[in-house]
Amino acid sequence: MNSLDLIATTAFGLEAVVSRELAALGYHEQQIEDGKITFKGDALAVARTNLWLRSADRVLLQIGKFVAKDFDELFDQTKELPWSEWLPEDAAFPVTGSCVRSLLHNPPAVQSLVKKAIVESRKQNSQRHWFQETGFEYPIDVSILRDVVTLTIDTSGPGLHKRGYRKQGGAAPLKETLAAALVQLSFWNRERPFLDPFCGSGTIPIEAALIAKNRAPGLDRNFQAERWERLPVENWLKAREEARDLQISKPTTYPLFASDISPQAVQLTEDHARAAGVAGMLHVTQMDVLELKDSRDYGVIVTNPPYGERLGDRESAEAIYDDMADAFAPLKTWSIYVLTADVGFERFFRRRADRRRKLYNGRIQCQYYQYIGPRPPGTVDPRPEEGLAGAPYDPYQS
């Protein structure tokens, strides 16, 4: 029975990608808002979505949602929620909060009132009047948007981008969740050559390899809710076993090509690929983008070249876009996807994109420029808005 209200949070612009990932996992009952997708699920869904979601930031358990325009309404309605069902008597429960365009606009006051209301609620169901928070942590969040209060407990713990394979960052590494989204927004599938010629620490090709392998991105890490009493440990064991079974140990894929001008970046990519268990799938070389030569057809480039915040850096980044135009010109049948914050990209690359999508790399607003090449003969590309790329149940069967 899908009795739980769950929320997958995501960076702005990636809602459609996460919604598609959820649908591919079988969670179709969804409500999509900016930065979050609310969906119905059971206890197993908590484990499966934490393990499988590639582009979501975290999975939250929604305990309540209601309108509150003053502190009394907030207190009374928070107190009525079933906190004791979730929090054991020794639970530690830090409360974070945010208020946006609401009559209640002071987050510290809101947080402390919610904390008091939860204590009162638990007192009603316990012999105790005092709760020592010495046990496992249940991180609670109160978010108020236009007077609508949403109370959640975080089931993920560290953000889902923390897959566990990246020990050190490169110069400007992308979050793994964003890298996975870039791949899933492209027309790449494992029948097509893949290249990231500005691979940095390797995030994009490693996420592509994990997708090709149908490997659950969270398989090497733990999650906050794994030790919650209300969520039977069998669900986690079952979800992990299912994920291991679904992994394709030797996917029939082209090697994924990654290159970078920097020897340190090449080393980092190799180290991270090894840690992610995909070293054998990646072909990593040190190379200036200008040296690029590839005689294959219908390949896909997904990349994140440098972009400068300061003028000098921006000028050298724009010179690189000019080099990219020359380097990619012979790749007539390829599709090319470029994430950059430089608004002049198309001018220096000398081509207008077929599509653009506004995305955020952390706080930096970027555009994802998409140049869509011809479809390989005899194939049907899943349209990115509708396709299943990245879904755990063999996304590429089409």
Tokens 């020990």 locate to 167
- SS3 for 71? helix
What is the four-CA torsion angle of 142, 143, 149, 155, rounded to 10 degrees?
-60
The piece of 101-109, 136-144, 164-172, 231-239 that touches ligand SAM (CB under 6 A) is 164-172
Residue 240 Rama label (left phi>0; alpha psi -120 to 50; beta): alpha
Contact 149, 74 (CB under 8 A): yes
| Residue 154 or 318 having the CB closest to ligand SAM | 318
Cβ nearer to ligand SAM, comparing 67 with 171: 171
Measured from the CB atom, is 174 or 273 closer to ligand SAM?
174
Task: Give the nearer residue to ligand SAM in terms of CB position, either 47 or 174.
Answer: 174
Among 22, 183, 289, 302, which residue interacts with ligand SAM (rule: CB under 6 A)? 289
Q: What are phi and psi of 52, to 5 degrees?
A: -100, -25
Choices 157-165, 172-180, 244-252, 371-379 (CB under 6 A): range interacting with ligand SAM:
172-180
User: How do strand 4-9 and strand 58-67 relate by DSSP bridges?
Assistant: antiparallel
Residue 236: φ, ψ to 5° = -70, -40
Binding mask 320-359 for ligand SAM (x = CB under 6 A): x---------------------------------------
CB of 220 to ligand SAM, least distance (A): 18
- For ligand SAM, the binding residue among 121, 186, 203, 367 (CB under 6 A) is 203
> In terms of CB distance, is 10 or 304 closer to ligand SAM?
304
Residue (189 or 201) nearer to ligand SAM, CB: 201
DSSP string of 197-257?
A: TT-TTSHHHHHHHHHHTT--TTTTS--GGGG-TTS-HHHHHHHHHHHHHH--SS---PPEE
Q: Return the residue of 217, 299, 306, 387 that touches ligand SAM, per CB under 6 A.
A: 306
The gap from C-alpha 50 to its chain's centroid, in whole angstroms, comes to 11
Q: Closest residue (Cβ) to ligand SAM?
A: 200
Q: How far is the CB of 336 from ligand SAM (least distance, A)?
A: 15
Sign for the pseudo-dihedral over CA of 96, 23, 211, 18 = negative
139 binds ligand SAM (CB under 6 A): no
Q: Which residues of 223-234 are buried (b: 16+ CB within 10 A; e: fewer)?
A: bbbbebeebeee
Instruction: Give 78 or 367: the residue with its C-beta nearer to ligand SAM.
Output: 367
121 binds ligand SAM (CB under 6 A): no
Task: Return residues touching ligand SAM (CB under 6 A).
Answer: 170-174, 197-198, 200-201, 203-204, 260-262, 265, 288-289, 304-306, 320
